[in-house]
Structure 1
Amino acid sequence: MGCSHATNCQLYAQFAADASLKLWKQHYCENVFDQCARYQLAMEGRPVPLTLLPNGKMVERRSKEQISASALFNAIQKQRVGVVRSLIKTGMSSYELKTEEGLSPLMAAVAVGNPELVNLMLEYGCDPYATNREGKRAIDMAQEAGFSECRNILNKYMATHPAEKTAPASGNPPPEEAEPEMNEVVGFLRRFNPFRSRET
């Protein structure tokens, strides 16, 4: 039996598609949810801070870029195409973002098998040749998952956009400006071990 609050937990929106969230879900949400600091406060009828982690640690203040990155991956996972488009149009560097596991927004779109999102990510400059930590490209993920429409879109795009010519779409900042931003996001996520003691 899992946590009854999992579907409405605000933590999911903050850490969508991140390895740390998967660990929290496995350890707390799906198992010892009664030990989750967020769950305990909710059961006591007390307000649950947005920045509270399951192990009782408080998230440090997050930058606009970190919040936007989480929002983008969360919107992709929920297949909210309009929200994804809006986030990218506000200046989100979709072609450089990656989770701690090396998952790009394009790979996230493939993972949910959504052709419209795949086209959108390609339109805004996501690199179809980028690989995750396992060395897999978005097209490899589409092939393994059996998402033929996503695979066909990527095949067609890659046939007309060789790797050496792949570049971000106009309107996005150049990669050298986006990389420090992503390093900050990854560094932020790596600082939190979901199994640390609740003691400060």
Structure 2
Amino acid sequence: MRFRDARRRDALVARLCARCGTTRQKVTRIFGAAQDITERKRVEEAMTTERSLLRTLVDNLPDSVYVKDLAGRKTLANPADIRKMGVASAAEALGKTDFEVFPPDLAATFDADDQHVIQTGQPVLNREERFILPDGSQGWQLTSKAPLRDRAGQVIGLIGIGHDITERKRAEEALRENEARLRHLRARQ
């Protein structure tokens, strides 16, 4: 409900309550209360805009972005993470642990990092990790994980991002092989 306010033209008012007293169909008194919620509405709109901007960024990054709860279950997975997990949709990814998606040895490695972040409250930054793509091929990612905290500062999960560095690792390996061949050729001369 919007009311004009002589001081502010944009005042929003909520919870207008009225109680009427009547005698013989005449109104004898009206009681009412109003509360200005203009600032609350502005904050809500700002939060909605910020949430939309953040979600747009997360959904369009080529990197895997995810959130896990204390039990290691995914509570958010962006499209890149969904593809890496080999599932068709976020609905299939959410609620799953790494042990339900990846081979046991990889899941154990991922879980060890997760538990370190959750138990110590310290991030794991720029760790190179091997992963298996849905087609069975091996890939590499540069992973960072940070604790997710509630308002009281308690760790309630973690947020992570994984940047695919598979092509870089393949190029490094090819370079090492070429250098080894070159050394071998020089040694034969």
Structures share a fold, TM > 0.5?
no
Q: Which has the higher contact order (CA 8 A, sep 6+)?
A: 1
TM-score bracket, normalised by the shorter chain, equals: under 0.3
**Greater fraction strand:** 2
